[in-house]
Amino acid sequence: MQAFQLHQPNSVASATQQRAGKDDARFLAGGQSLLAAMRLGLNSASELIDLSKIPGLAGIKVDGNGIVIGAMTRHADVAASADVKRLIPALAALAGSIGDRQVRNMGTIGGSIANADPAADYPAAVLGLGATVQTNKRAIAADDFFKGFYETALAEDELITSVRFPVPTKGAYEKFKNPASRFALVGVFVAQTAGGVRVAVTGAAGSVFRVSAIEAALAGNWSAAAAKAVRVSADGLNSDLHASAEYRAHLITVLAARAVAAS
Amino acid sequence: MKADGIGARVTRKEDQRFLTGNGQYTDDITLSHQTYAAFVRSPHAHATINDIDTRAAAAMPGVVAIFTGKDIAATGIGGLPCGWLINNKDGTPMKEPPHHILAVDKARYVGDQVAVVIAETIEQARAAAEAVEVDYGVLPAVADTATASKAKASVHDAAADNVCYVWGHGDAAAVDRAIASAHKVSTLDIVNNRLIPNAIEPRAANAAYDKSSDSYTLYVSNQNPHVERLLMCAFVLGIPEHKVRVVAPDVGGGFGSKIFLYAEETVLVWASKRVGRPIKWTADRMESFLSDAHGRDHVTRVQMAMDGNGKFTGMKVTTTANVGAYLSTFASCVPTILYATLLAGQYATPAIYCEVTAVFTNTSPVDAYRGAGRPEATYVVERIVETAARDMGLDPAEIRRRNFITTFPYATPVGLTYDIGDYHACLEKAVKLADYAGFPARQAEAKARGKLRGIGFSSYIEACGLAPSNVAGALGARAGLFEAGEVRVHPTGKVTVFTGSHSHGQGHETTFAQVVADRLGIPIDDVDIQHGDTGKVLFGMGTYGSRSLAVGGTAIVKAVDKVIAKGKKIAAHLLEAADTDIEFKDGVFRVAGTDKNVPFASVALTAYVPHNYPLDKLEPGLNENAFYDPTNFTYPAGTHICEVEIDPDTGKTEIVKFTAVDDFGNIINPMIVEGQVHGGLAQGIGQALLEGCVYDKESGQLLTATYMDYAMPRADDLPNFTVGTHVTPCTHNPLGVKGCGEAGAIGSPPALINAITHAIGVRDIAMPATPERVWRAIQSRA
Ligand SMILES: Cc1cc2nc3c(=O)[nH]c(=O)nc-3n(C[C@H](O)[C@H](O)[C@H](O)COP(=O)(O)OP(=O)(O)OC[C@H]3O[C@@H](n4cnc5c(N)ncnc54)[C@H](O)[C@@H]3O)c2cc1C
């Protein structure tokens, strides 16, 4: 791995300052995606800005009818949180399904969302629950946050500080793991929220996306059968070593139905 | 039974250091004035090397030296040898194109090494390696096993049709007659998927040249250091063998992939004299994926002829085996000698013929991998036997019972003589442990839940304890296959054992110590096992083919027996009795029928302090060595039964029960044997369900070059195994042992695939049986 300079700012303001205008600088959260990418030569960052010394970025708070999770909160802490388990058990279970113990002890929700890996789990929860991503500059609605393959609405020097998840009436996540990476081959989050039924899919395309046909079916009839009856088109879905688009399309309905049954 | 003797579940002596992080692996060894190597590897599967410009790289910080294939070829160095000659059906020898240690004219697979950069630090070496500019002329790649012989491109000019050899074994005419007159012939086209070994410790080497003695030391992660030295000195570098010491210290797994002499360590030894400093290289994980010798990769058609009772009358096997871009050390014998000779399986099939076409492709070399030929043979036999049962409407256990070999010794039609076994006993025990009788009820219960249950059998046999050297030699081996051992009794009665076997996960430091402690009647803590160093161990052929205990252990036993024989003479002198009156038991020499005795440690002390000693008749000291060349292979065998439950909505297979009943002969340490079985089963299940090495057929790029894409089995992919043993002691070695290291990986894949095809009701499913493949197979039935 190439050598890099490490900054350890103790405020959001100095962190974003250190990032501003530098193409080769990156925020470092849990390092579980960034460092691997650097080792493989896929990312040539020469300056890393470690977010772990900034007070207040980690932690889980109940806030009215929602849960606010700090950007630096580790997957393991979300999985183990009594509040998350009580209010949005699907989110705790999702966090517990990420990677392995080591990854969960290091990886953070902010890093996962900012990274926007097309097969990552958290994006399905953010989009499926209609969460709001809070940055140092603004609040971004989930529907506006994920822009494409590893692409988000974040500006270069924009730092996620927390994510607010509204508590749904019902919600569940079903993940079908890629047997090699254990990321989502397909993952489906279903939720009944104040804003209506939401169905978000990860792993199946270049970015997390909603499936309006299943949402419509479930809005009228919240049942596994209703979800399973929908035929999802394979157009635009990923075909790779691990699964064809057709199989992924099929899994979307199977997993959506299972999630509804489990909700 | 002695608490730490033969048959006891002694915890592994070596685990203390492994589990506390105190193992000493090759990469842990850093020598003074150490330098580091990075290899420039071809990004193309097939390309001419038009020019290599090293000027920019050479000017980079820390660079000590850069060598290309031309530099090495200019010193007259040849290529890596293949250790086994296979002849074509017409008697002509196989094609053996040169395998340069750095590619000279062409790069022949993605990862082929074309240059080496040596620098002060590993980072500097890698940075400079990236700056080496190679002008490649990209050529069309040959990357598909089945079609390689018809491809337009040629991997080697010397083999224009990419065929290394076409080899035949058995009585073709007899098999054709059996097929023509059969009641039924079952046919199956199957692929044995290519695997990447993935030892947890990547390959590594550290080579040092010492000017004062004009000698070399090579530390290398390797399974057989003496063979490594012999091949490197005698066949490649021309360095006198006594001027090279090869040390294979702790090795973190090999599975066959570290048997071979590789280019990297050979380059390091060659370069170490030129740069005058030690050079270290450790593969990163992607280099391991690209450049370790891979395993399996067969495409096969098999036909089984039967009479009206389901008795096998003849079997015909036609296989295309991919050997990769170059012939690795044992590449040629794996799909031939170690494969076709096992095609009788446990059955009295009277006529068998096998034809193997080995093809070169623009892929990493393929060589022995846990089981080496025998898993491929078992896959063919056990898949066709199960298919034959289905075609005949017979129960899979019943068709096996009707065809089992029951009298021993038994000479198969493919050249082996099984000394002993009891196939019925293993099968019946497995049937019981698996509760086969209860399967229909479980299947119905699963069906009520919307799940598909299936059960599959595999009654495997393997030939281990490689090998009678003369037999191997007649079959083309260019090496002997004996083993050596030395038992050094110290004056205090403590014992150091030197063995030519090598332990890289097998637990020899415990098992071998148990054998010696048991035989000498001393505590196991008084015995240390040393291995893996040509500077200490007299000779060795190393560890592979489940040979260590049967061959290496026997050599040790023979040396122990010499120690005891000499000890008796010393004791006789001390006890003033005739040699022939001395008995040795439980660590004590005794005059038979009296209470006159002297303990082992006193005899040892007397041997080294020979004041009262028959110096006129006997040399002082108590140090014996032995070479043992086996008279036959050993034949571990058993039955595996796998039960699966499949989710038809997703195609996901869950192994609900896996039962393995194995006959390994006598068992020294049941805990270690169970561990070997568990590990082997994990590997076999990995092959059947998860692991698939994929090269792009057009470009020859390795598509599964990281763990993101290559699925290794994890603990939660596996059930709790139900294991049992049935013992028929091997008849031709003193311990009565057969070997257990590969059985799990050999027996399990067909059991699992037989279970899946049974659950779905299809004839075949490709390995790895991924959820999508299974789902599609279910769709094809619907
Ligand atoms: C073996 C392994 C298995 C894994 N399995 C899974 C899995 O099953 N499911 C899954 O979803 N993920 C998986 N991951 C990824 C893991 O969840 C990562 O932790 C996560 O993707 C990134 O989080 P991080 O905190 O490690 O971020 P880092 O790797 O430190 O950073 C990732 C990116 O986000 C940026 N970033 C980090 N924090 C912020 C912030 N607050 N604001 C703006 N930008 C920021 C960084 O600059 C970088 O570009 C796995 C990783 C590994 C190594």
The domains of chain A are located at 1-53, 170-262
Contacts of B711 in chain A (CB under 8 A): 179-180
Burial of A247 (0-12, 13-18, 19+ CB in 10 A): buried
**pLDDT, average across residues B86-111:** 97
Tens of pLDDT, residue by residue over A71-95, are: 999 999 999 999 999 999 999 999 9
Domain A170-262, CATH class in plain words:
alpha beta
Tens of pLDDT, residue by residue over A49-60, are: 999 999 999 999
pLDDT tier at A40, thresholds 50, 70, 90? confident
CB within 8 Å: B770 and A181: no
Domains and CATH numbers, chain B: 18-139+200-253+258-291 (3.90.1170.50), 298-467+632-781 (3.30.365.10), 482-628 (3.30.365.10)
Tell me which H or E stretch contains B285.
Answer: helix B285-291
Task: Say whether pLDDT at A18 is over 90.
Answer: yes
**pLDDT, average across residues A242-251:** 98
Task: Say whether pLDDT at A1 is over 80.
Answer: no
Task: Say whether pLDDT at B78 is over 90.
Answer: no
**pLDDT, average across residues B406-425:** 98
Chain centroid, CA B701 distance in Å:
26
Nearest ligand 1 atom to the CA of A34 is 29
**pLDDT computed for residue B413 by the predictor:** 97
Identify the bridge partners of residue B165 per DSSP, sorted by sequence position. Answer: B358
Task: Say whether pLDDT at B43 is over 90.
Answer: yes
| DSSP for B573-585, written as a single string | HHHTS-GGGEEEE
Task: Say whether pLDDT at B763 is over 90.
Answer: yes
| Gap from A187 CA to chain B (nearest CA, Å) | 13
Contact B101, B205 (CB under 8 A): no
A and B: number of Cβ contacts within 8 A: 43
Tell me which H or E stretch contains B776.
Answer: helix B771-781
Tens of pLDDT, residue by residue over B658-699, are: 999 999 999 999 999 999 999 999 999 999 999 999 999 999
Q: What is the mean pLDDT of chain B?
A: 97
Burial B685-695 (b: 16+ CB within 10 A, else e): bbbbbbbbbbb
**pLDDT computed for residue A116 by the predictor:** 98
Residue B500: how many other CB atoms lie within 10 Å: 30
The radius of gyration of chain A's CA atoms, rounded to the nearest angstrom, is 18
Task: Say whether pLDDT at B782 is over 80.
Answer: no
Contact B467, B633 (CB under 8 A): yes
Tens of pLDDT, residue by residue over B364-388, are: 999 999 999 999 999 999 999 999 9
CB within 8 Å: B690 and A179: yes
B707 touches A at CB < 8 Å: yes
B727 Rama class: left (phi>0) / alpha (psi -120 to 50) / beta: beta
**pLDDT computed for residue B38 by the predictor:** 98
Residue with tokens 């058993």: B638
Compute the distance from residue A30 Cα to the ligand 1 centre, in Å: 6
**pLDDT computed for residue B161 by the predictor:** 98
**pLDDT, average across residues B395-409:** 98
B718 touches A at CB < 8 Å: no
Distance CA B91, CA B615 (A): 58
Angle at A242 between CA A237 and CA A246, to 5 degrees: 40
| DSSP for B424-462, written as a single string | HHHHHHHHHHTTGGGHHHHHHHHHHTT-EEEEEEEEEE-
| Gap from B693 CA to chain A (nearest CA, Å) | 10
HEC readout, chain A: CCCCEEECCCCHHHHHHHHCCCCCEEEECCCCCHHHHHHCCCCCCCEEEECCCCCCCCCEEEECCEEEEECCCEHHHHHHCHHHHHHCHHHHHHHHCCCCHHHHHHCEHHHHHHHCCCCCCHHHHHHHHCCEEEECCCEEEHHHHEEECCEECCCCCCCEEEEEEECCCEEEEEEEECCCCCCEEEEEEEEEECCEEEEEEECCCCCCEECHHHHHHHHHCCCHHHHHHCCCCCCCCCCCCCCCHHHHHHHHHHHHHHHHHHC
Rounded to the nearest 10°, the torsion over CA B15, B19, B25, B30 is -130
**pLDDT, average across residues B175-192:** 98
Q: Residue B45: helix, strand or coil by DSSP?
A: coil
| Gap from B649 CA to chain A (nearest CA, Å) | 7
**pLDDT computed for residue B724 by the predictor:** 97
**pLDDT computed for residue A100 by the predictor:** 95
**pLDDT computed for residue B226 by the predictor:** 97
Contact B141, B45 (CB under 8 A): yes
Distance CA B778, CA B782 (A): 6
List, in sequence order, the alpha helices (H) in B135-181: 172-180
**pLDDT computed for residue B737 by the predictor:** 98
Tell me which H or E stretch contains B602.
Answer: helix B600-608
Question: Which residues numbered 737-776 in B keep a CB inside 8 Å of some CB on A?
Answer: 770-772, 775-776
Distance CA A120, CA A111 (A): 11
Q: CA-nearest residue of chain A to B126?
A: A1
Tens of pLDDT, residue by residue over B101-119, are: 999 999 999 999 999 999 9
HEC readout, B220-271: ECCCCHHHHHHHHHHHHHCCCHHHEEEECCECCCCCCCCCCCCHHHHHHHHH
Residue with tokens 């590990």: B679
**pLDDT, average across residues A45-52:** 96
Predicted complex ipTM: 0.96
**pLDDT computed for residue B1 by the predictor:** 61
Backbone angles phi, psi at B776, to 5 degrees: -65, -40
Q: Do β-strands A170-177 and A160-166 pair in parallel, antiparallel, or remain unpaired? A: unpaired
Contacts of B689 in chain A (CB under 8 A): 179
- Reported pTM: 0.97
Distance CA B119, CA B133 (A): 17
Q: Residue B397: helix, strand or coil by DSSP?
A: helix
Backbone angles phi, psi at B579, to 5 degrees: -50, -45
Distance CA B742, CA B627 (A): 24
**pLDDT, average across residues A227-249:** 97
Distance CA B673, CA B668 (A): 8
Tens of pLDDT, residue by residue over A150-207, are: 999 999 999 999 999 999 999 999 999 999 999 999 999 999 999 999 999 999 999 9
* CATH number for the domain whose boundaries are A1-53: 3.30.43.10
* Dihedral sign from CA coordinates of B110, B111, B113, B119: positive
pLDDT over 90, % of chain B: 99
Compute the distance from residue A110 Cα to the ligand 1 centre, in Å: 8
B708 touches A at CB < 8 Å: yes
Distance CA B535, CA B547 (A): 22
Contact B687, B751 (CB under 8 A): no
Q: Is-cis flag, bond preceding B467, omega within 30?
A: yes
Distance CA B368, CA B361 (A): 17
Tens of pLDDT, residue by residue over B522-558, are: 999 999 999 999 999 999 999 999 999 999 999 999 9
**pLDDT computed for residue B2 by the predictor:** 77
**pLDDT computed for residue A41 by the predictor:** 85
Q: CA-nearest residue of chain A to B689?
A: A179
pLDDT tier at B653, thresholds 50, 70, 90? very high
Looking at ligand 1, which residue's alpha carbon is closest to its atom 4?
A99
Contact B641, B436 (CB under 8 A): yes
What is the identity of the amino acid at B15? D
Q: Do β-strands B244-247 and B215-220 pair in parallel, antiparallel, or remain unpaired? A: parallel
Of B398, B430, B395, B418, the closest CA to residue B348 belongs to B418
Compute the distance from residue A200 Cα to the ligand 1 centre, in Å: 20
Q: Residue B529: helix, strand or coil by DSSP?
A: strand
Tens of pLDDT, residue by residue over B461-504, are: 999 999 999 999 999 999 999 999 999 999 999 999 999 999 99
Compute the distance from residue B646 Cα to the ligand 1 centre, in Å: 33
